[in-house]
Amino acid sequence: MVRRLAVVFIAQLVALTFIEAAEIKVLETLRTNPGTTFRLPTGLKEISGLETSANNTVFCHGDEYAIVYEVDIRTGSPLRVFAMGDPTVKADFEGIALLGERIYLVTSQGRIYEATIGDHKTRARFNSFDTGIGDYCEVEGLSPANTGSADTSDELLILCKTPHDKNLTDHILIFRWNPNDRIVASNPAVSVPIDNISELSDFDSIHPSGIAVDRRTGHILIVAARERLVIELLTTGEIIAVKTLPAGVHAQSEGITVLENGSLVIADESGRNPAQISVYNRGFSE
């Protein structure tokens, strides 16, 4: 009897935790301005993707070669750099994700490159798979799903930039893809009408440039470079918050990730300013 009550209590506690997490709006827990901003090394001047490694480090990459950097967000210093392939794979890379000890890069055509995390100054063997998503859109971002359910723990979310179907050009599309079964994607998992975003912002069009998932809540975060917006979604596609990034800080935001402590990290490629990473800490708005 005692054991049964304990099991019921734990189940109720888990359910309550998910309810509380669902009520949290990640963007409303962040400070208005970044607490830390630092320049990136020359090899990342066209940074194109960002992924959490540990609480104080992130993985990132440029947009032409499969070269992965691990960067300390407290100092901006690279801790390791490794490449996929010999010679290094060259493609139009648009996003990065980490599942366990496996690192994933995605191209604008929807091709995935998979490798084990390499040591500093090494070359990693890789696998390559066609997700099929390139038939539906130009790809612009990648993230682990991590949306709170067991069946998404090994999945990837792939963000579309430009849908090929004229009937969907006014939507933001997100596909799911599982690197274990590698089934070619056929339909988007999330479709968000841009009109719904326009109602909460001053923009009639949105240009998504990166995607992340907050592991605590399962909420999806999308950064839009041209509009300097971060959009927070539920897994249903419902928009629950929109944050405008400060002018003068972000020239071209191409990467986004959320640290284990809840801080938001955004990467900008070089433009008017050198390439940089900005860290928005949790706390009351300034």
Question: What CATH number is given to the structural domain containing 143?
Answer: 2.120.10.30
Handedness of CA 200, 201, 202, 208 (dihedral sign): negative
Predicted confidence band of residue 151 (pLDDT cuts 50, 70, 90): low
Between 196 and 151, the more confident residue is 196
Residue 156 has what pLDDT? 97
Q: What is the pLDDT, as a whole number, of residue 75?
A: 86
Contact 136/130 with Cβ under 8 angstroms? Answer: no
Question: Does a structural domain hold residue 137?
Answer: yes
pLDDT in tens, 29-38: 999 999 999 9
In a domain, 252, yes or no: yes
Q: How many CB atoms lie under 10 A from the CB of residue 38? A: 17
Domain assignment of residue 268, yes or no: yes
Flag whether 11 is in a domain.
Answer: no
Task: Note down the domain range covering 115.
Answer: 25-280
Q: What is the pLDDT of residues 84-139, one digit of tens each?
A: 999 999 999 999 999 999 999 999 999 999 999 999 999 999 999 999 999 999 99
For residue 33, give Cα distances in angstroms to 11, 124, 180.
39, 38, 39
Q: How many domains does the chain have?
A: 1
DSSP letter for 105, please: E
Per-residue pLDDT for 286 more than 80? no
Higher pLDDT among residues 148 and 15, named by residue? 148
Give whole-number Cα distances, 138 to 8, 121, 167, 174, 224, in Å: 47, 31, 15, 11, 15
**Cα(257)–Cα(267) distance, rounded to whole angstroms?**
9
Whether residue 4 is contained in a domain is answered as no
Reported as a single tens digit per residue, the pLDDT across 240-282 is 999 999 988 998 999 999 998 899 999 999 987 899 999 999 8
Residues 6 or more apart in contact with residue 154 via CB below 8 angstroms: 99, 178, 179, 180
Residue 256 lies in a domain: yes
